[in-house]
Amino acid sequence: MNKEEKHELVIALTEQMKEYGNFYITDTSNLTVAKINNIRRKCFESDIEMKVAKNSLIKKAMEAAGGDFTPMYDVLKGSSSILFSKSATAPAKLIKQLRKQGDKPVLKAAYIDSSIFVGDNQIDTLIALKSKEQLIGEIIGLLQSPAKNVISALQSGGNILAGVVKTLQERG
């Protein structure tokens, strides 16, 4: 790979890091071509984009993307693959599914919407993450609940409440 090709790859990785907002760095070393192709196929089926790049190029892309990726630099050793996805949990679910068939891929680190998770022991945590949309939906549901209770109470006691309001107005 010449210098120009490396520069183009760094730019492409940087753009993907910015575009997706979520990426996982995994260890796929010592896997056969057939197993790598199987992982690529499963990634495609799950709407995950997989890239293989040298660690130094991945680090340059992180630096160019902005943000603080410092905790992830230590995991950039050996063979690394990057999984890009719009879904924060899809790569973690795929890794867990693939691990039922073997001991790879191993999660080195994940960057999820400005949060960094380091180590393979974070897989279950990443699977359990809720998206922004899910969290906003839950908050809206919680905020609506008290208002719905008040409206329901007012509607169920409508005649009594109207009588009380009328009586108070007549006294004034």
Specify the CATH number of the domain 3-128.
Answer: 3.30.70.1730
Per-residue pLDDT of the chain (172 residues; tens, 9 = 90+): 788 988 999 999 999 999 988 899 999 888 888 888 999 999 999 999 999 889 999 999 999 988 788 899 999 998 889 999 998 899 999 999 998 888 889 999 999 888 899 999 989 888 888 777 777 888 888 787 777 776 666 666 556 666 667 777 777 6
Q: Are 17 and 60 in contact (CB under 8 A)?
A: no
State pTM to two decimals: 0.75
70 near 5, Cβ under 8 Å?
no
In the chain, domain spans: 3-128, 132-171
Give the start-end residues of each E strand in 18-159: 22-27, 49-53, 80-84, 106-112, 115-118
Within 13 Å of residue 26, how many CA atoms lie on the same side as its CB?
A: 30
